[in-house]
Structure 1
Amino acid sequence: MESVIVVDMVVDFLRGKLATGRETAVIEPLLSLLSAARRSRRSVIYVSDAHLPHDPELRVWGEHAMKGSEGARIVAELAPQNGDYVLEKRTYSAFFETGLDSLLRSLGVDTVILTGLHTHLCIRHSAAGAFFRGYRILVPVDCVGAFTEQEQTSGLEYLRRNYGAEMTTSSNLAQRLSFESSRPADGE
């Protein structure tokens, strides 16, 4: 069973302190994928930065997405829906001390669909967390973004080469999820 993991689609990354303008390109394909996932009864899990004042990341990137701030809010276009899960993170990885692994296991998930920002940082570290815990990894390339095209390209290649991530697109995944959810269950 697949689950869509939405990483760091927060105000500070799309419109705030760390925005470059490139990030908004993932919104439309991600909306389409999330719609397909919800229709096919796949879980959607948001895992976003919610930093505290002494988090190590702040030494590198400065203050951003501080817990409880407007900058840490998921952008309105991608607001979680009823039935979605929302977790907070304080490091690059969606798995580090967030409860994500326990949640995925309780939902019977064996495959994660990683989406969001940034391909070469938080998606990369989240993929490592998934890989080391035995999850299959799918990456819709139109639903992830990085600060630069070079970081996007190298980030995707790193995921493919080191974690065996399957590169795909939001439309291919939406079709796959729709097809799989329309098949009769075993024994029917």
Structure 2
Amino acid sequence: MAVDSLFETGRSELALVILPTSAADDAAAEAARSAGCLIIEVEHVDNDAGPWCGKNLPGTVQGCGHWAGQTPRHVRIRSDRDGVYFVAVADLLLRSSRVRSLMFAGSMPEAFAGNISLFAARHGYQVLEFGVAKLAACGRSHATEPLLSLDQRVAPGLAALVLIDVQNDFCAPEGATGRSGQPMVMIDAAVARIKILLAAAREAGLFIVHVRAEYGELFRSVGSPYRFPLSGGREPAVWTASAADLSHGARVPKGPAEICLPGSWGGEFVAGIEPRSGEAIVTKHRFSAFIDTGLDSLLRANGIRSVILAGVTTNCCVESTARDAAMSDYHVVVASDCVAVKDHLRDLHDASLESLGLYFGLVRPSSDIVAAWVEPAVAAKGT
């Protein structure tokens, strides 16, 4: 199948949202269709309950939901009157259609308007004043064509280098992982290559994001990283309450179990990979750098469409971040020799890279990525 048929281009970056209170006639919808706009027709459920239970339960006959309309680029959303369901599902529809601006036809209830304002600010959408003439004049855009090659997916201005958990507790011999006594040759080698990759990215002018883990009692819940003892396994502990059999109440004592505590040496970045002025720092409290961090908003605000991932560990925080990045519609490139695990878990590293390459992104050695930055620079100097 041709790329153009997979990623339809030449569509407007504007969506027209038609509210139940709209007096807009067919001319508005026709102008939006002619301009290639996404049209979202909103209807409200017939009661004031929220969208997640009772009569409004998604999937029930009269509940909240969203469906494709009868014409191309037409969607129907049945939402609660406050717009809670609308903002929960709209971003996927908008970003899949490469929409950047919204225009609402009809008056918005106060609560709906408030939720839309927060939604637009969080996801980087511009809200425009309604007008049929504006719809007719918005035209079509080719600004969001897909990034086809590795060179495009690592290009400055489009890509960000995202470094995952390159911190003392995970990477330094004196850190929590190193103190276990288990060999870390792979991690040592990856850290050395990350320094080279980071230097090249800085020279090329890439947007840099340093992700650091910060754990501890304040953030502890079922999914928070914390070690629970395990008998007979490859590791002496599992890493979340979700993965642990808690029926006997067994826990590792707090001291040995804690890792990357706020303000600790273990939570600091490895020497030589410290952030510089103008480089973003994102603090995460779960495995994925996208969960409860604002990373998605940060990337969108800076025009980033592709992420290059490096760091530790391959099968846990790197893979979790890569999966969420791909499902958030970023291109993903994993620097295969700049991610690592403890040596005895090498098979998990290999399996993770194979899975990532099959389903979520390009898996390439850092030399290929650096070459994509260096060769254009060398060519430019020769002209």
TM-score, normalising length: structure 1: 0.90
Runs of 4+ in 1 over 6 A off after TM superposition: none
Cα distance in 1 for partners of 2:354, 2:304 equals 25
| Preserved contact between residue 50 and residue 68 of structure 1 (Cα < 8 Å) | no
1:177 Cα offset (Å):
2.0
2:350 maps to 1:159:
no
| Alignment partner, residue 184 of structure 2 | 21
Q: Which has the greater radius of gyration?
A: 2
The code of the aligned residue for 1:5 comes to: V
Q: Bigger shift: 62-71 or 18-27?
A: 18-27
| Alignment partner, residue 277 of structure 2 | 82
Q: How does 1:58-77 map to 2 (within 5 A)?
A: 58-59=226-227, 60-61=238-239, 62-77=257-272
The code of the aligned residue for 1:57 comes to: P
Q: How does 1:75-154 map to 2 (within 5 A)?
A: 75-147=270-342, 148-154=345-351
Higher RCO, 1 vs 2 (CA within 8 Å, ≥6 residues apart): 1
| Alignment partner, residue 57 of structure 1 | 225
| Preserved contact between residue 140 and residue 168 of structure 1 (Cα < 8 Å) | yes
> For 1:131-162, what per-residue CA distance to the aligned partner results, in whole angstroms no more than 9, with x for missing partners?
11100110111110012211110110111122
| Preserved contact between residue 120 and residue 151 of structure 1 (Cα < 8 Å) | yes
Residue 287 of structure 2 aligns to a residue in which SS? coil
| Preserved contact between residue 95 and residue 130 of structure 1 (Cα < 8 Å) | yes
Q: 1:30 aligns with which of 187, 191, 194?
A: 194
Which has a greater percent of helix? 1
Residue 156 of structure 1 aligns to a residue in which SS? helix
Cα distance in 1 for partners of 2:203, 2:166 equals 21
Q: Which runs of 5+ in 1 are unaligned?
A: none
The code of the aligned residue for 1:42 comes to: L
| Preserved contact between residue 57 and residue 91 of structure 1 (Cα < 8 Å) | yes
Task: Go from structure 1 to structure 2 and tell me whether the alpha carbon gap of 1:43 and 1:58 turns closer, same or farther (over 3 Å shift).
Answer: same
Cα distance in 2 for partners of 1:64, 1:85 equals 22
Residue 142 of structure 1 aligns to a residue in which SS? strand
| Preserved contact between residue 110 and residue 135 of structure 1 (Cα < 8 Å) | yes
| Alignment partner, residue 161 of structure 2 | 4
| Preserved contact between residue 168 and residue 270 of structure 2 (Cα < 8 Å) | yes
| Preserved contact between residue 168 and residue 269 of structure 2 (Cα < 8 Å) | yes
1:180 Cα offset (Å):
4.8
1:182 Cα offset (Å):
6.8
The code of the aligned residue for 2:294 comes to: G
| Alignment partner, residue 253 of structure 2 | none
2:244 maps to 1:47:
no
2:370 maps to 1:174:
yes
State the identity %. 29
TM-score, normalising length: structure 2: 0.46
> For 1:107-140, what per-residue CA distance to the aligned partner results, in whole angstroms no more than 9, with x for missing partners?
1111100100011000110011101110011011
1:84 Cα offset (Å):
1.2
| Preserved contact between residue 184 and residue 341 of structure 2 (Cα < 8 Å) | no
Task: Go from structure 1 to structure 2 and tell me whether the alpha carbon gap of 1:180 and 1:95 turns closer, same or farther (over 3 Å shift).
Answer: farther
